[in-house]
Amino acid sequence: MKLLHLSKEGSRTDLTHLVQRITWSGSYQEAARKLEVELAVSVTDVWLRSPSVELADVLMLFSGKGEELFRGYVFGKSKTLTGNRLTINAYDGMIYLIKSELSRQFQQVTAEQIADVVCRELEILAGEMAYTGIPQSFPHLAKTGYEAIMTAYTTAGRQNGKRYMPRMNAGKLDVVEKGAEVARRKVLASVHLTESSYGENLEDMVNTVLLADEKGNALGHISRPEWVSSYGLLQKVYQQEEGKDMATMAKSLLQDYRKNASVELLGGPDAYDLLAGNAVQVRESYTGLNGLFYIDEDTHTFENGQHMVALELNFQNVMDEQEAEQPVKDADPSGADKDDIFMYLKEYKGG
């Protein structure tokens, strides 16, 4: 591994020889990837002089083969009078989308166009934005740039069935289809795993969706009767929105019970793409982890020449959903017709 420090004045310093421990992590819910570095420092040893790392300076992490793994900005640092370690926390450029707000009225623009607009306004370099082609309208008032992008992609995802996640790539913002990229390594119990666990919970289940018109009047509902019978009624309300197919949007709210797992494994050069937002194949028969799983959270730890990886896995592909405010009224509304909705209810429930 190689760790570089780039000051705001443009100087570069190799900090690799000072590294005691590196933790590189990310989550689909937290968005910004984090780098926590512990450096050996000393008041008396000239070879361990504390480096001059300032807030908002850049840290870059590279693999042994020179592949850029992380590029981020120092958001915190600490050390003690008697201690011999300097701890530095850095986040990738996503942190500025999370910390910066804007106000805009988006009208008949796609999620990818909204992402480009947000990047320009908040001075973030735009990369590759996942294509949706679905125009939408909503106000975004005094909320973050990250929320604007995820609101747009949440709405698009509910209509096309896909899940999306933003991530930084070499200093540019990409929005990718979550789970589309499968990690190179197939995780095998006999070769890689040091620990694994499996669990189930009903926390996020939705087995019935009540349909309401724009005034809140009930129109009907869709449900999974077998889920209701087994686990009890867990209901959400979907209120009709202009320009969106009511049946499609309501159906997207139905959620089965969540099955999740965690694994700990030995890392290596082929494990750097075990990242939140990607998928991974696991073979571990005792706990039933056999198949393709979605990575919700990853933590890579480098210490004493060893690379360890901890992953939170999900059987379902989920995204960090953000809700839009009341949509802007369009001149040409295209809400779903009530007859179409009830025809859909009849077909969906097998009637």
pLDDT digits (tens, 9 = 90+) for 63-95: 989 999 999 999 999 987 777 889 999 999 999
Cα gap 309→271, rounded to integer Å:
8
CATH superfamily, domain at 182-201+257-314 = Bacteriophage T4, Gp27, baseplate hub, domain 3 (2.40.30.150)
pLDDT digits (tens, 9 = 90+) for 257-268: 877 789 999 999
131, 111 contact by CB (below 8 A): no
Domains 2-92 and 182-201+257-314 agree in fold: no
Pick the CATH number of 96-177 from 1.20.1730.10, 3.55.50.10, 3.40.50.80, 3.40.50.300: 3.55.50.10
Residue that wins the pLDDT comparison between 191 and 262: 262
Please give the mean pLDDT across all residues of the chain: 87
pLDDT digits (tens, 9 = 90+) for 98-144: 999 999 999 999 999 999 999 999 999 999 999 999 999 999 999 99
Residue 340 has pLDDT above 60, yes or no: no
Q: Given pLDDT bands bounded at 50, 70 and 90, which one contains residue 327?
A: low
- Which residues pair with residue 295 across a beta bridge? 313
Q: What is residue 125's three-state secondary structure? A: coil
- What's the mean pLDDT in 312-335? 62
Q: What are phi and psi of 147, to 5 degrees?
A: -65, -35
What integer pLDDT is reported at residue 46 of this predicted model? 62
177, 294 contact by CB (below 8 A): no
What integer pLDDT is reported at residue 260 of this predicted model? 76
The structural domains of the chain, with segments of one domain joined by +, span 2-92, 96-177, 182-201+257-314, 208-256+325-348
What integer pLDDT is reported at residue 246 of this predicted model? 84
Its CATH architecture, for the domain 2-92, is Roll (2.30)
Residue 341 has pLDDT above 60, yes or no: no
Q: Which of the listed ranges 27-31, 68-72, 226-230, 242-246 does the model predict with the highest average pLDDT?
A: 68-72
Q: What are phi and psi of 160, to 5 degrees?
A: -110, 0
Q: What DSSP designation does 320 have? A: -
Q: What angle do CA 91, 95, 96 make, to 5 degrees?
A: 135
What integer pLDDT is reported at residue 29 of this predicted model? 87
115, 86 contact by CB (below 8 A): no
Q: Which of the listed ranges 96-110, 201-215, 245-259 does the model predict with the highest average pLDDT?
A: 96-110
What integer pLDDT is reported at residue 331 of this predicted model? 37
Name the residue among 213, 318, 186, 305 with its Cα closest to residue 256.
318
What integer pLDDT is reported at residue 306 of this predicted model? 94
Residue that wins the pLDDT comparison between 297 and 339: 297
Q: Which residues contact 104 (CB under 8 A, 6 or more apart)?
A: 117, 121, 139, 140, 148
What integer pLDDT is reported at residue 346 of this predicted model? 37
